[in-house]
Chains A and B, each alone.
Chain A
Amino acid sequence: MSAALEFRNLTLGYDRHPAVHHLHGPVKQGALMAVVGPNGAGKSTLFKGIVGMLKPLAGGIDLCGARARDIAYLPQIADIDRTFPIGVYDMVAMGLWREAGLFGGIGKREREKVRAAMSAVGLSGFEERPIGTLSGGQMQRALFARLLLQDARVIVLDEPFNAIDTKTAADLCDLVMRWHTEKRTVIAALHDLDLVKSMFPEALLLAREPVAWGATAEVLTAENLLKARRMCEAFDEHAHECAA
């Protein structure tokens, strides 16, 4: 099976300090991959690199013909201005940007799509509600509806199930599984290791350096997790230049 994207000795970071160090390898098309690691392990940094928001310090990412903009990305903390006077429907409909762009009409077919996406995340009836009235979980549902509309081959989710209740998390997990059966490539950063073990066939354990990458059961061993914790705590303000 061909790759959806490929890391080429990738180093990402801030102010010359690496946050992701020498990551190398392909993510297969249709993969369902969890990125696991302690806080500060470089998960969010990796995702920003994938969607082109952060330039690599060294190495690169081969998107295998796709453009960074074709990747659907759910950031950990979306900086959404919730006081902005806009309804949930319009917010979700932004997911059609790739089709509609600046001027493209939103016709009957598109409106139907938006309604279908909202109903898929359980937000039917919320169309006219201002986004400021949504709870945290409802907002996450709305963002997932927008992801659905983006209809992307590669979907990157940064801690999508944080701070939401079990019912919402379960509903959103179902959507992720649906994407998986549709052969889309899904990469998600998660902290809930039980969830990773039960849902994700593949995992990448990151602690700035890649600790382990492969089948989930082989990656999430106690030994690897301990190693990751130790590696992550070693930050040196006056580090020397990396020779590798």
Chain B
Amino acid sequence: MLYDTLISPFVEFAFMRRALVGAFALALGAGPVGVFLMLRRMSLVGDAMAHAILPGAAIGFLVSGLSLFAMTAGGLIAGFVIAVGAGIVARATELKEDASLAAFFLISLAVGVTIVSLKGTNVDLLHFLFGTVLALDDPTLLLIAGITTISLLALAVIYRPLVLECVDPGFLRSVSRAGAPAHIAFLALVVMNLVGGFHALGTLLAVGIMMLPAVIARFWARDITTMILIAVVSGAISGYAGLLVSFHTGAPSGPAIILVAGVLYAASVLFGRVGGLIHLLFPGRHLEA
């Protein structure tokens, strides 16, 4: 019975296995990136970037249909252009980075929806917005796995400046010039992981597998290493449980994955050991020292 519910869907159906591998790979790459986004107070930047990717993928789609390469390249290019463009406007003018990013991604989103609506069908639009985690083919899986590998390697390289720039940016500036390159590399990782997530979960929900696990982790860990581990694990659990929910109930798989993460988030808000509601309301008697 338990086996039937929890394991046999993945044993019996290849598409479920592929979806699970894809979800695990996404959780492994996007989780740590999400933790850094959150700690750098850029939680909503992921959302903005996800919207920004849409026109790139749409143009790729226009040029060569539902081609993995064209849509990925288009998404990456659009993401980089908007990240860099918003950064340049923010540094060259009085506008703050979040405001300039908002302007860029809104324009980009409008362009993207226009292109898809003019040239495609509504089914295509849904594919763009919500992805197709149950239809991941080999090249797409390899792409997601490749992005995850690159992310983890790159994060290892820029880990120290990235942490230091969050904790004490002034100090980093006084000892090293690694801050700005690390920041740009990190933005590139955000874009890459969103493009990877976009194939499975769509442009809108790709951010979910990045940010929700990070926010969950914040409620359970006091140091960044544990936080990253918890984010990865809760992302993987969301992927596994979400696919099962989708399989047994017929709910769309992408939203199901993010909804499971949402449930974990709600539970963390309530029961989290670090600043969870119940812990704050009933802290127990005070200690001696």
Contacts and interface: CB of A to CB of B under 8 A. Distances in A.
The residue in B170, B175, B221, B223 that gathers the most chain A C-beta atoms within 10 A of its C-beta is B175
Contacts of B169: 79
A78 B171 contact: yes
B176 interface: yes
Interface in A23-58: 51, 53
A139 to B, nearest CB: 11
B174 A85 contact: no
A69 interface: yes
B35 to A, nearest CB: 9
A53 B157 contact: no
A228 to B, nearest CB: 28
B175 A69 contact: yes
Size band of the interface chain B makes with A = 20 to 34
Interface stretch (A91-99, A118-126, A218-226): A91-99
Interface residues of A, number: 26
Nearest to B176: A97
B39 interface: yes
Interface stretch (B2-10, B21-29, B110-118, B158-166): B158-166
Given A102-B160, A102-B161, A130-B223, A78 B168 contact: yes
A81 interface: yes
B222 A130 contact: yes
A85 B170 contact: no
A69 B179 CA distance: 14
A178 B176 CA distance: 26
Contact of B223 (A53, A71, A81, A87): A87
Interface in B84-127: none
Given A84-B166, A85-B39, A94-B171, 20 more contacts: A53-B173, A69-B174, A69-B176, A71-B174, A79-B169, A80-B167, A80-B168, A84-B39, A84-B163, A84-B224, A85-B222, A85-B223, A85-B224, A86-B224, A87-B223, A94-B168, A102-B157, A130-B223, A131-B167, A150-B175
25 contacts: A51-B174, A53-B173, A53-B174, A71-B174, A73-B174, A78-B171, A79-B170, A80-B167, A81-B167, A84-B39, A84-B163, A84-B224, A85-B39, A86-B223, A87-B223, A94-B167, A97-B160, A97-B164, A97-B175, A102-B160, A102-B178, A103-B157, A130-B222, A131-B167, A146-B171
